[in-house]
Structure 1
Amino acid sequence: MAEAEEASLNIRSADLLFTPIPERIARLRDLAYNLWWTWHPEAQDLYRHIDADLWEEDYHNPVDFLRDVRQRKLEEAAANPEYLAEYDRVMAAFDRYMAAEDTWYRRTFGNANDVTIAYFSAEFGLHESLPIYSGGLGVLAGDHVKEASDLGLPFVAVGFIYPQGYFRQRLDQSGWQEAIYSKLNFADIAATQALTADGREVVVEVDLPGRTIYAKVYRIQVGRVSLFLMDTDIHPNSPQDRELSARLYGGDQEMRIAQEIVLGIGGVRALRQLGIHPTVWHMNEGHSAFLVLELVREKVAQGMPFDEAWREVRAQSVFTTHTPVPAGNDAFPLHLMEKYFNHFWPHLGLTREQFFDLALQQQSWGATFAMTVLALKGSHAHNGVSKLHGHVARGMWHWLYPNVPQDEVPITSVTNGIHSSTWLAPAMRRLYDEALGPDWEEDLDNVALWARVRDIPDERLWEVRQALKGELVAIARERVRQRHLRLGSPPQVWPVLEPEIFTIGFARRFATYKRATLLFREPERLKALLNRSDRPVQIIFAGKAHPADDPGKLFIQQVYQMSQQPGFLGRILFLEEYDMALARALVQGVDVWLNTPRRPYEASGTSGQKAALNGVVNVSVLDGWWPEAYNGANGWAIGEAREYSSQDEQDWNDAQHLYRILEQEVIPTYYDRGSDGIPHRWLAISKESIATIAPVFSTRRMVKEYVTRLYLPVAEMQA
């Protein structure tokens, strides 16, 4: 059965759950089950224009929307000539996209038709209506999948569906983060059962200590790419095992190792049942590295000696490491590995010691089986996610290559980018249509094309930027209103935020190394900066801390409590529940994107790239992607590109420099207005930021690099 027919069968089986849709607009169902709509605002408008209030209430989820919408609303849309004309345009664009033969991949590598790339990740950030992501890693994975679709790659992706997703964030009266979990109803999302060629459901089996665990596989269609997600909340699993895939990054080490066994080993078995036989296996971070062991086991079972099987599997595999923070690299104690794999290593033809040697790493607490080590040893191509991170990773893992100079450690870098269509504000897209031509998105990694941005009239860019800030202010006010209603307390300051004031955005995961509280190092100096009558400033904070990260949660509480103090009240705001919807509003609506990680712990970061695409100016530490982008004219750099003798010295120096450039450069430039009331110098920086960052720090460039530098060289090794 063809993939399109399978998806159609699954969708039709759910038809009775939907409000009856007039035949003239019946394909709204098909569109809802392909996440192509997530990066095409005109497709989302087909639902919004039927019932805007319900679209917001259902949190921009078309599957849920089609279940809840009143039939009268659908009939009105089907009788509206303007709506039908737009419906026909969108569906024609969708059909052209899905049927396109002239993709970048086919034009460039027409003879590489026997290649299939399998991309494994523990999380995928595709849209706020599918909360199976926690932050940057997942959003990067989601953007990677979307770009693979746009470029026409032969590509599938594998992960978990997480019925309870990642947690929803609520702050109590004191500002302490509370984690709220709710069950994800599969009938409400764009997931269908994955089926084999003969129409049978795909359920994989994986052995854990004393029992077999079962995982059912679902399919989510992302443009031309199929994403397969596993779920263990099925019969006949025990209650404990049903919880195994319930939450992203939940539970203790036993749950973590069991999750990663199902992801890596179960993920390979899922693809086998589906009749998919990848030539390239891409591990996005070490969570899925057990797939290497399963691939070797398959070959050994066919009679191949272990060493030869290991070499063949290694030659098929690509590994991307995403973190220079040691705690971000999973490593399991040997006693736990023995418990979970004592039945497995005999199938590899290995002894216990030989098996442990595959990924042995000495930690301060003892010997461990390290997933990053397994992934590095078990893959041919390895990369960090920025040039600086590649350098740091070569230092971190130099011990694995003792006879190689550190600079020659075989870990390259492919700097992260963003899926431009997902993160670009519709108003900015219309502006780029005017400046770059209607087909600019087909050539969006063309640096020369983006030079035309510098010719955009200042008044046009300023008009759009101010409108986007107004939209952000409206969203922020509504979120604050909802929080106070929940807590039963009136807002202390209203209205929240003012659209005319210079606005700084700081939003990311609240890990301590990201230094969210750096701005508060000198509170009185910050108060003076925020409250100047001639050039006031407001700052919006947002972000989640991992549920087990109490220091990160303490940072959130500190920011919140400072925001309630005189001098900060009304000038600093913390918005709870940072997700992709709020992220879009922030990167599109603030004036400056602030990034203050402790160098060199930020592997890449991409939120500043999203901001730059929308004309927001970056003020950032020279860490992650920013050293590659900063040219002295497209934003500001905080501190110096050097190492410090102590973290306190580093924090003090960076804070002093941040205060100075805000006081003397950033804020005065914003408020330096011409006779027309427009900040021309500021807009010159904004345009330079767009022109230099948008074409380079995109997934268009990034995925092309993966194809040409990693995927195809690995595929050619097997030719």
Structure 2
Amino acid sequence: MYSIKQFKVVPAVPEPLKGLQELAYNLWWTWNYDAAQLFERLDRQLWSDLQHNPTKLLAIIPQQRLEQVAKDNAYLAHLERVQESFNDYMSATTWFSKAYPNHASHCLAYFSMEFGLHESLPVYSGGLGCLAGDHMKSASDLGVPLYGVGLLYHQGYFQQFLSNDGWQFEDYPELELHNLPIRLVRDNKNAPLKVSFPVGDRNVTAQVFEVSVGRARLFMLDTSLPENDPNDRNITTRLYGGDQEMRIRQEVALGFGGVRALRAMGLEPCVYHMNEGHSAFLALERIGHLVENAGLSYSQALEAVAGSTIFTTHTPVPAGIDTFPHELVTRYLQPYVQRIGASMDDIIALGQSETVPDPKKPFSMATLALHLSRYSNGVSKVHGRVAREMWQGNWPNVPVAEVPITSVTNGVHVRSWLSPDLERLFERYLGPDWTENPDDGDIWNLVDDIPDAELWLAHERRREHLIVAARAHLRKQAINRGASPARVAETDELLNPEALTIGFARRFAPYKRATLLLTDEKRLLKILSSTDRPVQFVFAGKAHPRDNLGKELIKRLVQFARNSNLHHRFVFIENYNMAIARFLVQGVDVWMNTPTKPLEASGTSGMKVAPNGGINFSVLDGWWAEAYAGHNGWTIGDDRIYDSAEYQDQVESESIYETLEREIIPEFYDRSADGLPRKWIKRMKESMRSCTAQFSAARMVREYVNRLYVPAMKNGLHLTEKKYEAAKQLAEWKTRIANQWKNVAIESFDAVESGDVKVGSKMKVKAAVRLGDVNPDEVSVQLYHGPKPSTGAIENGEVVTMSLESKNGDGIGHFAGELPCRRSGEHAYAVRVLPKMPDVSDQYDLNLIQWA
């Protein structure tokens, strides 16, 4: 075999077009249609065929075409206009710099297993990735100094194709890294920057690529290097691929390798945000670095790290959490444990609810994340409540309502999902400020100024675009399956551009109940068979390659369409990706969502529909439980959860048919004399007004900044001052309090006066607390009160802090407090004691609490 050497040929972009290369390597263009049109104008068909990838477009477009465009004055004027807009964006004074000028020099790190930024960079799988991508884009818009960290998967998002009977198969094409909008990070000698970290008994090396996302920067690690063992090169081959061992290796690379990569680039974030538990190992790497380089003990370093770490959980059920057996954790974490002065039992305990490791219970990445962060949140109000219930075992004596997991409801980056037709309307009627403040509710009140006829015309254009795009995909599917020419030609007649169009697109998992619509097939067939009020459904989505139950759902939908002979009104589009998602959310009339309550942590697809004029029809779970307001959409069932899943399905499938037949279909086809569905348009506007601002990623990121990022910044910076003096004191205080807490007890408590209490008055309560060697100012003695419970525990109680009145020489502290009696009825109260220290950001941090 003869030897070969590689070389690369790059496009000779003419000087007048040099700005295209800068734009191609910054994903700012993905939410600016004027910029995207620059690339589309070069070659419309090639642009589409390349999944809207500008770097590849510039690499393969004929040189003759570039030379031609370089002499086109109209095109050059377009390019100049876009460049000016881009430069203005990059140099503008931002919200963050104005709101928090004292933190202008600080930065944050945002770790995620996947990032869904655009279909041209397919290193994402689903909602978690798209959420991370929208988070990055909004951080850019707001000027939040955020660095994303992830892995660069060479096989990316798998390609889906269906057999003739509807069974899903997968293909994993290799990405062409040189044609992606990414750049290799280089060191000060212009060599590729590389970092090394132990993965089990071997050292693994990763190179780092950068993606520019407006003002924000995303760094992705790649282990596919010749100096690595072949097994280690595979770490960044496939997202969520392989077995448990591959998963822990990927999470070691993300957590340990990601922190080292930031450090190697000279970046020192003062806050780390873990988007799900996959990246929880980053905290161990940070602890190890402080032990080795700042002279801290393990416990001191843990306090310094946890105090500046945020954990967001997206999972509503324990089964969705990554867990590993102790043997696997020991094998991969042993090199790190040796560095930080802790035992393996200490580390295993961090991944369990128990303080003493239980060999029968697995090591949970989410539990590790909770133990190593002082700020935690779910992704909707419902999910926050579910998460508190799910993780109460970590705080066994704390009432569920007070488990320290808050919620920040997800949001979407509006301009990334908005159709150009609606964007033009918004510019005309909402004013230019809407793009900078998409979370300003007052701006969205102006949707009433948009004439009904103009809004409806724009929406009808988007529905027609959806139909055209869907037909093109369905035609391609038919050809790939070897369909006859006649069958291929039929795809040009599928779907009706004027019919009520209902969309359903998401990951196909059993809990999402994609086939709930098929519960009563005869009733559905009657709805689909109407000729005077036509209705059609467009489905899309992928099942996880190992989820056969999810694949069965897809198969059943496909077979229903075929067997009912209504395939022109009930279609499934293969190979769902962000491009397909865009034309669906921009063109549907109704977006349907049918998850099993309460298993939808948030859901974001419906949020993307609202600003485009689509209307949601969903189960009251996740975000829709917050958004639904009566006239902005429809619900499937109500908020009740039944013990029987079969009965739940029966009730909610009946609700689907009833609502379609009695409300949705009649309202859509109720036209005024001028042909406009006035009531429908009113509901469209109400959906836009009530949903867009509140469920924008701009609101979400601002909320993270105000409620979590800045408090974590302040806390983290305080803990590091004066060579980590506060962190040292906090660790020492916790150790002392933990040792002395066994001597703390409530000796007695009672109301000062007996008998009934009148509404509006206060009831004084006194308590005697044995403190031992604990100082009175180191405890918070609290009255916990609420309505009298039917069982033993007070639910959703309120807290009144009691004051010290005196302390005896025998170590008994006497405390008093007053209960406000605002409502009549039977009430109850209890007394509890918690440790208290100013540097403790979470009163339940020590998990020490004594009840009377």
Q: Please name the residue that 2:306 is paired with.
A: 314
Of the three residues 192, 205, 216, the one matched with 1:201 is 192
Aligned partner letter, 2:180: I
Task: Report if the CA contact (8 A) 2:326-2:359 is conserved.
Answer: no
Does 2:430 align with 1:436? yes
Deviations 1:446-475 (A, max 9, x none): 111111102211111111111101111111
Does 2:360 align with 1:369? no
Structure 2 residue matching 1:74: 3-state secondary structure: helix
* TM-score, normalised with respect to structure 2: 0.81
Q: Please name the residue that 1:7 is paired with.
A: none
Q: Please name the residue that 1:189 is paired with.
A: 180
Residues 339-488 of structure 1: pairs in structure 2 closer than 5 A: 339-360=331-352, 366-488=360-482
Structure 1 residue matching 2:421: 3-state secondary structure: helix
Structure 1 residue 226: Cα displacement: 1.2
Q: 1:15 to 1:677 in 2, by over 3 A?
A: farther
Residues 28-43 of structure 1: pairs in structure 2 closer than 5 A: 28-43=20-35
Q: Please name the residue that 1:260 is paired with.
A: 251
Cα distance between partner residues in 2 of 1:221 and 1:461: 34
Task: Report if the CA contact (8 A) 2:291-2:298 is conserved.
Answer: yes
Q: Please name the residue that 1:619 is paired with.
A: 617
Structure 1 residue 198: Cα displacement: 4.7
Does 2:137 align with 1:139? no
Task: Report if the CA contact (8 A) 1:425-1:614 is conserved.
Answer: yes
Structure 1 residue 343: Cα displacement: 2.9
Larger-gyration structure (1/2): 2
Cα distance between partner residues in 2 of 1:104 and 1:657: 44
Task: Report if the CA contact (8 A) 1:361-1:369 is conserved.
Answer: no
Q: Please name the residue that 2:746 is paired with.
A: none
Of the three residues 219, 222, 234, the one matched with 2:213 is 222
Of residues 33-42 and 490-499 in structure 1, the stretch that sits farther from structure 2 once superposed is 490-499
Q: Please name the residue that 2:159 is paired with.
A: 168
Q: Percent identity?
A: 47
Cα distance between partner residues in 1 of 2:173 and 2:321: 28
Unaligned runs of 5+ in 2: 1-5, 719-852
Cα distance between partner residues in 1 of 2:242 and 2:113: 15
Task: Report if the CA contact (8 A) 1:514-1:598 is conserved.
Answer: yes
Does 2:56 align with 1:56? no
Aligned partner letter, 1:468: R
Of the three residues 316, 321, 331, the one matched with 1:329 is 321
Structure 1 residue 78: Cα displacement: 2.0
Cα distance between partner residues in 2 of 1:546 and 1:569: 25
Aligned partner letter, 2:375: A
CA-atom RMSD, angstroms? 1.6
Q: Please name the residue that 1:67 is paired with.
A: 59
If asked which structure has higher relative contact order (CA below 8 Å, sep 6+), I would say: 1
Residues 234-245 of structure 1: pairs in structure 2 closer than 5 A: 234-245=225-236
Of the three residues 605, 623, 627, the one matched with 1:629 is 627
Structure 1 residue 16: Cα displacement: 6.8
Q: Please name the residue that 1:4 is paired with.
A: none
Q: 1:365 to 1:60 in 2, by over 3 A?
A: farther
Q: Please name the residue that 1:554 is paired with.
A: 552
Cα distance between partner residues in 2 of 1:198 and 1:401: 50
Structure 1 residue 361: Cα displacement: 5.1
Deviations 1:645-679 (A, max 9, x none): 12111111111111100110011100111111111
Q: Please name the residue that 1:117 is paired with.
A: 108
Cα distance between partner residues in 2 of 1:536 and 1:365: 60
Cα distance between partner residues in 2 of 1:446 and 1:484: 45
Cα distance between partner residues in 2 of 1:397 and 1:568: 47
* TM-score, normalised with respect to structure 1: 0.96
Structure 1 residue 230: Cα displacement: 0.6
Q: 1:501 to 1:364 in 2, by over 3 A?
A: farther
Structure 1 residue 256: Cα displacement: 0.2
Of the three residues 515, 521, 524, the one matched with 1:523 is 521
Of the three residues 593, 611, 617, the one matched with 1:595 is 593
Structure 2 residue matching 1:417: 3-state secondary structure: coil
| Number of residue equivalences | 705
Of the three residues 120, 123, 129, the one matched with 2:120 is 129
Of residues 70-79 and 135-144 in structure 1, the stretch that sits farther from structure 2 once superposed is 70-79
Deviations 1:664-714 (A, max 9, x none): 001110011111111111010001000111111101110000001000000
Aligned partner letter, 2:178: A
Structure 1 residue 330: Cα displacement: 0.5
Of the three residues 566, 569, 572, the one matched with 1:568 is 566
Q: Please name the residue that 2:760 is paired with.
A: none
Cα distance between partner residues in 2 of 1:517 and 1:164: 30
Does 2:289 align with 1:292? no
Cα distance between partner residues in 2 of 1:170 and 1:59: 17
Q: Please name the residue that 2:671 is paired with.
A: 673
Of the three residues 251, 268, 271, the one matched with 1:277 is 268
Cα distance between partner residues in 1 of 2:334 and 2:289: 17
Task: Report if the CA contact (8 A) 1:196-1:275 is conserved.
Answer: no
Structure 2 residue matching 1:367: 3-state secondary structure: coil
Cα distance between partner residues in 2 of 1:191 and 1:566: 47
Cα distance between partner residues in 1 of 2:177 and 2:147: 21
Cα distance between partner residues in 1 of 2:145 and 2:564: 57
